Every structure is written in C-alpha cells, then in structure tokens.
Amino acid sequence: MYTTRFLDVPPLDSVAGTVRLPGSKSISNRVLLLAGLCEGETVIDGLLASDDTEVMLQALAALGCTVERSGEAVCIRGIGGELPVREADLFLGNAGTAMRPLTAALAVLAAVHGGAFRLHGVARMHERPIGDLVDALRAIGCRIDYEAAPGYPPLRIGAAPSGLHALDAIRVRGDVSSQFLTALLLALPLATAGGSSARISVDGELISKPYVGMTLQLLERFGIAVERDGWQRFTIPANSQYRSPRTLRVEGDASSASYFIGAAAIAAGGQPLRIEGVGLDSMQGDIRFVDAARAMGAQVDGGAGWLEVRRGTLPLRPIDLDCKHLPDAAMTLAVLALFAEGTSRLTGIASWRVKETDRIAAMATELRRIGAAVETTDDSIAITPPAEWRAGAIKTYDDHRVAMCFALAAFSRCAGAAPALPVRILDPRCVGKTFPDFFEALFGVAAARPDDIPVLTIDGPTASGKGTLASAVAARLGYHLLDSGAVYRAAALAASRAGVDRDDEPALADLAARLDLRFGADGVWLGGDEVGESLRLEAIGSLASRISAWPRVRRALLDIQLAFHRLPGLVADGRDMGTVVFPVARLKVFLTASAAQRAERRYRQLISRGISANIDSLRADLEARDARDQSRSVSPSRPAPDALLLDNSALSIEDSVEQVLAAWQARTPFG
C-alpha cells in the first residue's frame, strides 16, 4: 500500500494480464457478523483485509468471539446468541458496514441480556446518519442514546427497560440507505428466540435492493430463511437460529472490479484483461457495472468467478443511467464518462451525499479539476468530457473510491489528450478501506510508454550521501529505488566467490551477464544467498570500484539496471545514472561534498555498524576511487550537462531531501 502524501500515476496506455481482486467488503463484514453471532467455528476464506474489516474483527474480539488468522483464512468462534462481554467501547473507524449492523445486533442482545456498549468512529462517521435505524430499534423497546448530535453516532446502547415488543410491526425507512434494513435483517433473528417472529415493513422505495438481496442470501447460508413479500415486507420466523456453514469463501469485490473493467474498456492492447475473484454469477449488485460498461462500448466475457474485458468502441458511448442499484461502482462510470463522445448523466445517486464524503460534490470538483464540464442536482451528475485535459492533483476526501476511480484519468491519451497527462492522487493511503494494494495491482497490469515513466537520478562520488538521499526521495514519491552500486558490488562479490581475477575482463563480463541477482523486500539475493550484509564490506566496494572500470562489465550489468524502470517511477543512484543509463531522466542530481566530509561520514557509518575503520585510510581510499571513477574510459563519473549540482557539505539530510523534492515538483505539471 502506498502511504505517501501523494502518488503520481504516469500516463498509462494499455492493460494486459490477470488481476486478482480482494474480497468484497460488503460480504466480508456481513459474514464476520453472522459468524460472530452463531455458535461454533466458521472458517472464512478470501476475507478482505482492510481498514473496515479490521475494525469489525476487533469489535468481535472485544465482544468475546475468538478470532484466529491463518494465512488468507480467518476462523471465528461465535458467541452463539449469548453475550459473554456485557460492556465494551467499540471504535468502528469509518466503516458503515460495521456501525449499522453492530448497532442493531448489540441493541437486541442488550435488550435480552442487559449490557452497556458505546459505538463510535472517526469524525466523518459521526456525520453519517443512523437515526432511521435507531428509531426502528427504539420502537421495539431497545435502549439507544445519542451521545452528541441526535441522529448520528456516537451511540450508547443499554438494557431495555421493558424488554422487546411489537416485533410484528417493525418499520424502517428504505429510501436513504439500505444498510438500515440490512442491519435489522442480520440482527433480528436474535429477537425471535422468545417464540415470536419479526416482521419488517419498509417505508419509501427501497434503494440498493441488490445489497439487501446479498444480505438475504448470506442469512440463508447461516440457516435463516427470511420470507419476503416483494421488497416491502420481510418476515423472520419465530425461533430462528444462526447455523454456521462451517466454511465459506468470500467473493472478490465487484465494486473493486469496476476500476479494472473501466481500465480495460479504454486502454489499448489487443489482449483482454482477466479479472479473477468475481464473475457474472456474483451475488453483488455492483456486478451490473458490467452491463453499464457494455452499454458504453466495452467487450466483457465472463463466467463463474472470472471476467475478461477488452476495449470495444472508443470513444465510449455516453450513458444515461439510473444508478440506484450500483451506487458505488457508479463513481467509476463518472470517470469513464471522460472517455465518451458527449455528455453522460448518472441519476439516482442521492445516497452519494451520505457516504465516506459528499460524493456528488467531491466528484464534481475533481472532474472539473481535470477539465470536464459537470452539472449536479441533489441526486444526479452530468459529465461532459474535457475539451482540453489538465493535469490534476486529485483530492480524495478520505474516500477510497475517489482515489481508485480517478486513477483511470491516467489513460488520458486514450481520450486523445496530447500530451498525455499524469494524474496526482493525494493521500493514496485511503484505498486501505477496501483495496490496500489497488495501485500495486494497477501497475501490475498497466503499461506506459517508457518515456512517460519518470526517472530521477542521483550521481556523485562515494560517501556523498547518494544512497541516503535516493532512498528518502524514493520513499516520499512511492517510486522504485535502484542502488546501482549494489549491482556492481554484487558482481564483485560473485567474482570474489568464483575466484575470477579482477583484471580478467572477459571472465568478469561473462559472470556479470549471468548474475542471478534479485532485490526484494526480503533482502538482496545472489543465487540462493541473502547478501545484503556482504555487499557492504569495504573489500567488496573496493573490488567493485576496480571491476566497474571494464567496459564489457558495465555493458553486461546494464539490463539489470534498466529493469528497475517500472511504474510508477524510479529513483536511481550511482555514477552514470544520468549520463549513460537513464539519459532521459526528468531530474539529474549530481551530489558532492568535500573529501574530508565524506571520509568523516563513511567513518561514522562503519563505526555505527560495528566495523572498525581508520579515517585517514578511508580518505585515501575514497580519493583513489574518485580518481578511478572520474578517469575511466567508459562512463566516467561526471555531472550530466543538465544536472542539478548539489553540494551537501553543509546541508542536513532532511534539507537535501527537501531541495531535491522541490526541484522535482517544479518539473511535474503539478508544480
């Protein structure tokens, strides 16, 4: 997951390959609650790992359920209709799928068994209405108090003074959020133990019916057969009891699929994009996004648990659609509208106003930012594609879906934008709510023109602070990091292990060409060995300095370095990054510091690692290396003509990082 302040998504051209979706948030949290309420163990496979499921898991644990995780699976031992913990303070973040059903379940449980519970979340959660659900629960005798503003969390739930009653005449509004009805359906089987059935009537036209359909299907998997009279009346039979299905697999998230269906609908590339985890058989309403994408021109095939999508008509056909049944995925349609020939209109989206943010306002502002003409009403949005695309820094309002759907704006070339533009996503971490690795998944299937993938190079003499600066800058930008010195050091280590003479250029080049080198999160691997520590040895650095003077060795190591040039961008440090390996780099920094400073830094660095060192010999050695690097016939170390010269002798590390980031920012269209 990217936890940077912003992520610049370069102009993207095509998609291909396979993407596996994380589990559905809606299914995950429903299944977790049901598993928590029934007796015995339920093993849930494919559960979404995200902020919203995490708060639900923590709440269940706090309420006395046993939660065990093993790999991708989670095993829940439920409370079986009892209430082992009678008091709890539950923080539910911004997870509506946890707040609503837990309110209902705890209100009913506390009414039957007694107890005192507090439910609260982040500030935005305290602005999301829950009054209709509370009214319905109060009407059957539950005790729920508002701690602050009436109608909104935080809530306090307590014992019911006169028990539950009027179970046969429960009323709930259905026209604001279907989550209130879902919450009641999930919780009310608990109220039927006394021998009465529970009958719910919906006031107003029920929105998001497919979500309620999903609730009913999942209840059935847990042994609860709800009788339904259209979408207006629901009856839970007397003495209903949750029965664990023992094992259950969560479908991939259909809303998450929408970003990839959308990408494949607009991106070039003859191959289809395969999406696994959700298919045309899905129980999720947002799978209807497939029909909308087809109507706009996408070619979609699919079966049970898979989809294959390719571009059909482009520009897309504009769409005029009532989105009541796919409120979440409809946001993706709003961005796809940028790729249509004419104005698209999405209606029936009043519920957008009470989601993670006011999504109608948010989408309108951000679509305009990149050049679209947008008109909104209380429950609709109309989007006309940009006459001229602009590079936008998209605010995400702590709303995962805003972040994900605007990533599609990076395909602006496919809409004819010239030049094609990157898109900046502010606070990309918000995707953690439902799809923590969304951007990694996107970069795994999307391709960009090499010239569009930005590179920042940092060259300079030994111990000038290149590695330190490069890794800090890469971390701030969310870019890949190439420590090219480590590549030369790995070749030196391999040569030393194989006993190859440091002057035998052909043998060294042969060895370098066959180097089995892998840089991973788990370290640097040479063949089967983790060599991170060995590479830092001074003797290996010294040998690297010598063998790096051989032209054929340099050539043999070129491909390993070029392979780091991947989405979303690269920071590369070395001697010839800006001059030879990445001459098209957008920013080339040449970092220097006085020899005395550098010797001192290297000395401290070695001592802090517990390696003994002598400052005079270090200085002599680094001056010898400088001389060799500067005088060799190929790729001598020198600044590129267009390099930014930075002498950091008197700068702190933070100051150097800030200076380089400022120079970088000035070279982006967001500067």
In the complex with ligand ADP, the residue whose CB is nearer, 473 or 477, is: 473
- Pick the stretch among 105-113, 341-349, 468-476, 484-492 that binds ligand CDP (CB under 6 A): 484-492
Element at 102 (helix H, strand E):
helix 96-113
What track of x and - describes contact with ligand ADP for positions 629 through 648 (by CB under 6 A)? -------------------x
Is residue 380 near ligand ADP by the rule CB under 6 A? no
Amino acid, single-letter form, for residue 320: D
Give the C-alpha separation, 420 to 43, whole Å: 47
Is residue 457 near ligand CDP by the rule CB under 6 A? no
Partner from ligand ADP, ligand CDP, none contacting 605, C-beta within 5 to 8 A by type? ligand ADP
Residues in contact with ligand ADP, total (CB under 6 A)? 15
State the nearest-atom distance from the C-beta of 610 to ligand ADP, in Å: 14
Q: Dump the DSSP string for 613-632.
A: --HHHHHHHHHHHHHHHHH-
Give burial (CB, 10 Å; 0-12/13-18/19+) of 315: middle
Helices 466-477, 653-666: crossing angle, 10 deg rounding: 50
Partner from ligand CDP, ligand ADP, none contacting 651, C-beta within 5 to 8 A by type? ligand ADP
Write out the two tokens for 317: 């056909």
Q: In the set 627, 653, 662, 666, which binds ligand ADP (CB under 6 A)?
A: 653
**128 labeled binding residue:** yes
- CA-nearest of 122, 112, 288, 124 to 209 is 288
**96 labeled binding residue:** yes
Give the C-alpha separation, 663 to 655, whole Å: 12
In the complex with ligand CDP, the residue whose CB is nearer, 24 or 464, is: 464
Q: What is the 3-state secondary structure (H, E, C) of 249-310?
A: ECCECHHHHHHHHHHHHHCECCCCEEEECCCCCCCCHHHHHHHHHHHHCCEEEEECCEEEEE
Is residue 544 near ligand CDP by the rule CB under 6 A? yes
What track of x and - describes contact with ligand CDP for positions 545 through 584 (by CB under 6 A)? x--x-------------------------xxxx-------
In the complex with ligand ADP, the residue whose CB is nearer, 30 or 598, is: 598
Q: Which residue is nearest to ligand ADP (CB)?
A: 465
Partner from ligand CDP, ligand ADP, none contacting 478, C-beta within 5 to 8 A by type? none
Q: Dump the DSSP string for 505-527.
A: HHHHHHHHHT--EEEETTEEEET
- CA-nearest of 47, 50, 5 to 432 is 50
Element at 346 (helix H, strand E):
strand 344-347
Q: In the set 178, 208, 351, 468, which binds ligand ADP (CB under 6 A)?
A: 468
**351 labeled binding residue:** no
| List 8, 253, 328, 399, catalytic entry | 328
Q: For residue 467, is it left (φ>0), alpha (ψ between -120 and 50) or beta?
A: alpha
**465 labeled binding residue:** yes
- Pick the stretch among 137-145, 166-174, 231-239, 462-470 that binds ligand ADP (CB under 6 A): 462-470
Catalytic-residue membership of 328: yes
Give the C-alpha separation, 83 to 64, whole Å: 8
State the nearest-atom distance from the C-beta of 105 to ligand ADP, in Å: 53
State the nearest-atom distance from the C-beta of 486 to ligand CDP, in Å: 6
- 637: Cβ contacts below 8 Å, ≥ 6 apart: 459, 460, 461, 575, 576, 626, 629, 630
Tell me the HSE value of 350 on the side-chain side, using a 13 A CA sphere.
11
Amino acid, single-letter form, for residue 218: L
**Site residues for ligand ADP per CB under 6 A:** 462-468, 601-602, 605, 648, 651-653, 656
**Site residues for ligand CDP per CB under 6 A:** 462-463, 484-486, 488-489, 541, 544-545, 548, 574-577, 625, 629
> Binding site: which residues?
25-26, 30, 96, 128, 177-179, 208, 328, 355, 359, 401, 433, 460-468
Give the active site residues.
Answer: 328
> Binding site for ATP: which residues?
460-468
